[in-house]
Amino acid sequence: MANYMPHNQRSGNLLTRLGFEREGYAKKYLLIDGTWQDHVLTALMNEQWTPQR
């Protein structure tokens, strides 16, 4: 998982290049400098992963 603020498009572009997919939008997700900030939620899945037994 990686989250970024909507106005930080450079971070969004980097995560897209790395293969992260947008999973949602969290309003007022983190309190930063006294203001609640929205964030875009992304994740990178490894579909081939299996737990070791």
Domain ranges of the chain: 2-43
Model pTM score: 0.83
| pLDDT value of position 12 | 98
SS3 of residue 4 by DSSP: strand
**What residues form DSSP beta bridges with 41?**
3, 24
Q: Rounded CA gap, 14 and 11, in Å?
A: 5
| pLDDT value of position 44 | 97
Q: Rounded CA gap, 49 and 41, in Å?
A: 22
| pLDDT value of position 47 | 87
| pLDDT value of position 32 | 96
| pLDDT value of position 53 | 85
Quick one: tokens of 10? 């450079």
Residues in the chain, pLDDT under 50 = none
Q: How many helices (H) and strands (E) does the chain have?
A: 1, 3
